[in-house]
Each structure stands twice: as C-alpha cells, then as structure tokens.
Amino acid sequence: MKELSNLNNKELIKKRNAAKTITAILLGLFIVSIIASGYNFWQQGYSATTLMPLFIMAILATNFSKLQSIKKELRLRKMN
C-alpha cells in the first residue's frame, strides 16, 4: 500500500470516502452486535458470541485511526 503522502489528491479523496463508508458500516455492525450479544447473554448466558463486539471494536478503532490520518493529510494539502 502506498503511503498517504505519495497519493495524488483524487486518490486520497477516494480513499477518504471509502474509509468513511467502511467506518459507518462497522459502527452499525458494532451497535447491532452489542444488542445481539446482550440479548444472547440474557437468554443463554456467556458464550463466544458475547465477545464479538470487542473484536469489531478493535477493527473499528483501527479504521477510525486510518480515517483520521487521511483527514490530516488532506488538511496538510488544504483540501478539506
């Protein structure tokens, strides 16, 4: 994968839009998994699916960090 500073403006904006979409989808999945995990825990007690929100949260945090670095690069280029 290219470093962000090596991408042209069009590629960087495309990458930002993709990261925003993926982050929104992961956030929705995280919320649904918390609800489903809570319901499953209430019905059956502890199981492996109880930990599912933790795994999604780790992926979400990584993706959010990537999105922030893309936004920072766009600000450096004054391309909000």
pLDDT in the model for residue 4: 83
Say if residue 8's pLDDT is above 80: yes
pTM for this predicted structure: 0.82
pLDDT, one tens digit per residue, over 17-45 is: 999 999 999 999 999 999 999 999 999 98
Residue 80 has pLDDT above 70, yes or no: no
Residue 79 has pLDDT above 80, yes or no: no
* Run of H or E including 68: helix 52-76
pLDDT for position 17: 96
Measured CA to CA, the distance from residue 25 to residue 17 in angstroms comes to 12
For 62: left if phi > 0, alpha if psi spans -120 to 50, otherwise beta; the answer is alpha
